[in-house]
Amino acid sequence: MIERSLPDPFSHLPDDARIWIYAADRDLNELEENRVIEILQEFCASWASHGHPVASGAGMLESRFAVIAGHIPGEDISGCGIDASVHALDKAHAELGIEWLSSLLVHYRDANEAIRSVSRAQFRACVEAGEVHMETTVFDLGMQWLGEIRAGRFEQPAGATWHRQAFSLPCTI
């Protein structure tokens, strides 16, 4: 398991807080990252769903992935509430020129430790070329619960994830 510390804005939320992870088109510099966090935290401060306040937090992982977490005890966050969080990301796009990538892309670390975001077809081609294997680090943006990040499931070897079967990853020795 790859250990990463979780940003402080999530420490007050339970493991069953719902999360949404969005990938930027590039690594953000420190000023951009701080501004994205600021925009998202401003949104979180007034986030409500069907009139209920959402206990929430937002942060960045790996200078690339925006994470928004929300929790209403005993209730779900409405679709309109989720849409409102996307509008906060739109503000970051408009202000900083950050493109938020499709959730259908595969995100992984290449041999130089750079984060790459590619289509599934491109990822499969990397597997076939031997550039991606069981030990290649992948990021799982499809997680739903904060506890999954806390358990280290956001960033792990491809052989321990759905990527193994989906892309018939070869074992390396």
Q: Do residues 9 and 57 make contact, with C-beta atoms less than 8 angstroms apart?
A: yes
Q: Which residue has the tokens 């990938």?
A: 23
Domain ranges in the chain are: 10-96, 106-166
**Which ranges in the chain belong to alpha helices (H)?**
30-45, 79-96, 120-128, 146-150, 163-166
Q: Is this model's pTM higher than 0.85 or not? A: yes
Give percent of the chain with pLDDT exceeding 70: 94
pLDDT band at 173 (very low <50, low <70, confident <90, very high): very low
Domain at 10-96, CATH from 2.60.40, 3.30.300, 3.40.91, 3.30.200: 3.30.300
Chain segment 50-73, per-residue pLDDT in tens: 889 999 999 999 999 999 999 999
> What is the Cα–Cα distance from 117 to 107, expressed in whole angstroms?
4
pLDDT at 172: 60
Express each pLDDT in 129-172 by its tens digit: 999 999 999 999 999 999 999 999 999 999 999 999 999 887 76
Q: Which residue has the tokens 């949104």?
A: 43
Q: Span 74-99, mean pLDDT?
A: 91
pLDDT of 2 reads 37
On whether the CB atoms of residues 59 and 100 are closer than 8 A, the answer is no
Mean pLDDT of 19-31: 96
